[in-house]
């Protein structure tokens, strides 16, 4: 009973978050920035912020995570952080020599009102930014939005700073993957490549945060979108943005800036969402879908058909980020499961809640949705009426344990298991993995709870 302090009685709370289902913007910006090759993310604030973000990302990926900080002191907070950032830029290029520094703000620097474009300009004029090197920035006040907003803002900054139209369209499709795992990014690229489509993915943390063990410490790992590629995004035939909350802003900005048309889709989690992704790739690049992809789709469908009886009617509680919850809810409904409780800490708005209501319109009984909500409330719902399965980040494990409910880790952060950085949950293969996880969770429970008489060999 770890969460023995959770009470059954639900009271309206509006002055606080208990057991949050989100975190703050800067960490999302840092994660996105790590998806640029040779990039050193930089936190313009006090030392704690970036220490926490690095620790959290390190715990999630089990990889070294680098970032720098302006290391604010009280002086900087009174007189502004310009001197700190200028010195940082100077030091960083002298010693670490990254291709680009991606600066994000914090609640502190936002509130004291540092003007980042002005400071970056000053650094350039003073010759602190070497030839061929870049400093980009985005504003990520921690008191607005969530980590998803931070990811979205930094991704958009990549467009704002780099994308340019070079006069003719390349036969390339831009992919904005959303706040997903490096493995997911890899899978999206693999699918596009299987269709013979050239893509530029940004940000791209594959081969950055799921790198191999080599006996060497590489401060800047091999992966990540290059500056060259980022510039080229303005000349692509189109952009597919996966997940409106994490990727929509950048896609729209690119459309406005360079007239690259964009399609904003759900994250390709599950059959229909992956269909939509593949179809969009097909249309945009004007290619045919190869048999190999149809084959994967068929395999996924096969699992669903073979095991549909176990999915039927299972009540599921979901906690996570808006893009993930939306896609997961659709997927679950499509295989006859019932997402009955859904919480995100991200203030995703009324429209999002409405979308979830529509997706779950056919689900019998009351569907509870709270946007933004927290895990304390989520737990209270479960205490009042339990579910058969929980899907969410590692923090859900307290609830899973207390209420003895099967649990699948999905989303950010996962602090206690490996796999997420290597095995995707997007695309048909990712869908198959997700189905396997769901079935394992449900069937392990069935086996555990069965009496000797009910205990079955074949399932």
Partner 1 sequence: METSTPVIFEERENQIHRKGESPFNIDCNRDSLAGAISQRACVFCGSRVVLYPIADALHLVHGPIGCAVYTWDIRGALSSGPELHRLSFSTDLQEKDVIFGGEKKLYKALNELIDLHGPKAAFVYSTCIVGIIGDDLEAVCRKVSAEKKIPVIPVQSEGLKGNKREGYNAACKALFRLVGTGETDNISPYSLNILGDFNLAGEIWLIRDYFKRMGVEVVANITGDGRIADIKRAHGAKLNVVQCSGSTMDLANMMEETYGIPHIRVSYFGVEDMAQALYDVANYFGDSQMIEKTKELVKDELKVLYPELKKYKKALEGKKAAIYVGGSFKAFSLVKALRHLGMKVVMVGSQTGTKEDYAELEQITDPGTIIVDDTNPLELSQFIKEKGVDLFIGGVKERPIAYKLGVGFCDHNHERKIGLEGFEGMLNFAKEVYNTVMSPVWRFVPRNTTGDVKNV
Q: Which is nearer to partner 1, 50 or 277 (CB)?
A: 50
Instruction: Count Cβ atoms below 10 Å from residue 369 Cβ, excluding itself.
Output: 21
Closest CB 68 distance from partner 1, rounded Å: 5
Residue 23 has φ and ψ, to the nearest 5°, of -140, -170
**130: contact with partner 1 by CB under 8 A:** no
Nearest to 238 by CA among 271, 289, 196, 283: 283
Question: Contact with partner 1 (CB under 8 A): which of 30, 33, 38, 72?
Answer: 72
**88: contact with partner 1 by CB under 8 A:** yes
Extract the tokens encoding 207.
């081969």
**63: contact with partner 1 by CB under 8 A:** yes
Which region, judged by CB under 8 A, interacts with partner 1, from 5-13, 166-174, 323-331, 334-342?
5-13
Distance in angstroms (rounded) separating the CA atoms of residues 307 and 431: 14
> Could you say which residues in the range 286-325 bind partner 1, by CB under 8 A?
none
Residues 25, 263, 429, 417, Cα dihedral to 10°: 0
| Binding flags for partner 1, 226-255, as an x/- string (CB under 8 A) | ------------------------------
**H-only helix segments in 62-194:** 74-79, 82-95, 107-112, 116-125, 147-162, 182-194
Closest CB 384 distance from partner 1, rounded Å: 16
> Could you say which residues in the range 35-54 bind partner 1, by CB under 8 A?
42, 45-49, 51-54
**123: contact with partner 1 by CB under 8 A:** no
Helix (H, G, I), strand (E, B) or coil at 196: coil
> Could you say which residues in the range 155-194 bind partner 1, by CB under 8 A?
none
Name, in order, each residue with C-beta under 8 angstroms of 259's C-beta and a sequence gap of 6 or more. 165
**10: contact with partner 1 by CB under 8 A:** no
Count of residues near partner 1 by CB under 8 A:
80
Distance in angstroms (rounded) separating the CA atoms of residues 29 and 157: 10
Distance in angstroms (rounded) separating the CA atoms of residues 343 and 442: 22
> Could you say which residues in the range 398-427 bind partner 1, by CB under 8 A?
none
Q: Which is nearer to partner 1, 315 or 397 (CB)?
A: 397
**95: contact with partner 1 by CB under 8 A:** yes
**102: contact with partner 1 by CB under 8 A:** no
Extract the tokens encoding 51.
């220490």
Which region, judged by CB under 8 A, interacts with partner 1, from 153-161, 183-191, 217-225, 271-279?
217-225
**16: contact with partner 1 by CB under 8 A:** yes
Question: Contact with partner 1 (CB under 8 A): which of 32, 39, 85, 136?
Answer: 85
Residues 53, 56, 59, 64, Cα dihedral to 10°: 0
Cβ–Cβ under 8 Å, residues 61 and 96: no
**84: contact with partner 1 by CB under 8 A:** yes
> Could you say which residues in the range 428-447 bind partner 1, by CB under 8 A?
none
**376: contact with partner 1 by CB under 8 A:** yes
Question: Contact with partner 1 (CB under 8 A): which of 131, 213, 416, 456?
Answer: 213
> Could you say which residues in the range 322-351 bind partner 1, by CB under 8 A?
345
Closest CB 4 distance from partner 1, rounded Å: 7
Nearest to 304 by CA among 329, 337, 335: 335
Q: Which is nearer to partner 1, 20 or 386 (CB)?
A: 20
**18: contact with partner 1 by CB under 8 A:** yes
DSSP codes, 362-396: TSSSPPEEETT-BHHHHHHHHHHS--SEEEE-GGG
């Amino acid at each position: 009973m770890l969460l023995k302090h959770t009470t059954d009685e639900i009271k309206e709370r509006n002055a606080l978050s208990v057991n949050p289902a989100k975190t703050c913007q800067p960490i999302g910006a840092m994660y996105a920035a790590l998806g640029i090759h040779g990039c050193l993310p930089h936190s313009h604030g006090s030392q704690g912020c970036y220490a926490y973000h690095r620790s959290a990302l390190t715990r999630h990926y089990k990889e070294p995570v680098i970032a720098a900080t302006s290391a604010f002191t009280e002086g900087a907070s009174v007189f502004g952080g310009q001197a700190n950032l200028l010195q940082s830029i100077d030091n960083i290029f002298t010693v670490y020599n990254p291709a680009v520094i991606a600066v994000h703000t914090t609640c502190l620097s936002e509130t004291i009102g540092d003007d980042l474009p002005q400071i970056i300009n000053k650094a350039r004029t003073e010759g602190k930014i070497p030839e061929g090197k870049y400093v980009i920035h985005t504003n990520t006040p921690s008191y607005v939005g969530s980590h998803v907003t931070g990811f979205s803002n930094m991704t958009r900054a990549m467009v704002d700073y780099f994308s340019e139209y070079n006069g003719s369209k390349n036969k390339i499709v831009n992919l904005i993957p959303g706040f997903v795992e490096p493995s997911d990014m890899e899978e999206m690229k693999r699918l596009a490549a299987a269709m013979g489509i050239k893509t530029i993915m940004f940000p791209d943390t594959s081969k950055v945060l799921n790198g191999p063990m080599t006996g060497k410490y590489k401060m800047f790992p091999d992966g990540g979108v290059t500056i060259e590629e980022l510039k080229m995004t303005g000349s692509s035939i189109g952009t597919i943005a996966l997940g409106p909350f994490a990727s929509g802003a950048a896609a729209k900005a690119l459309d406005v800036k360079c007239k690259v048309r964009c399609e904003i889709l759900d994250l390709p989690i599950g059959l229909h969402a992956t269909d939509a992704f593949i179809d969009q790739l097909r249309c945009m690049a004007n290619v045919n879908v190869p048999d190999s992809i149809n084959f994967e789709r068929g395999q996924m469908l096969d699992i669903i058909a073979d095991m549909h009886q176990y999915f039927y009617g299972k009540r599921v509680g979901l906690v996570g980020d808006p893009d993930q919850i939306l896609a997961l809810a659709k997927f679950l409904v499509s295989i006859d499961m019932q997402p009955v409780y859904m919480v995100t800490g991200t203030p995703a708005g009324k429209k999002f809640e409405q979308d979830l209501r529509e997706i779950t319109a056919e689900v019998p009984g009351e569907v509870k949705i709270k946007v933004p909500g927290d895990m304390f409330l989520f737990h209270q719902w479960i205490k009042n009426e339990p579910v058969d399965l929980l899907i969410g980040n590692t923090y859900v494990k307290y609830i899973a344990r207390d209420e003895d409910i099967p649990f699948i880790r999905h989303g950010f952060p996962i602090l206690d298991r490996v796999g997420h950085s290597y095995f995707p949950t997007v695309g048909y293969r990712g869908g198959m993995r997700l189905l396997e996880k769901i079935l394992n969770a449900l069937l392990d429970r069935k086996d555990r709870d069965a009496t000797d008489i009910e205990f079955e060999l074949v399932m």
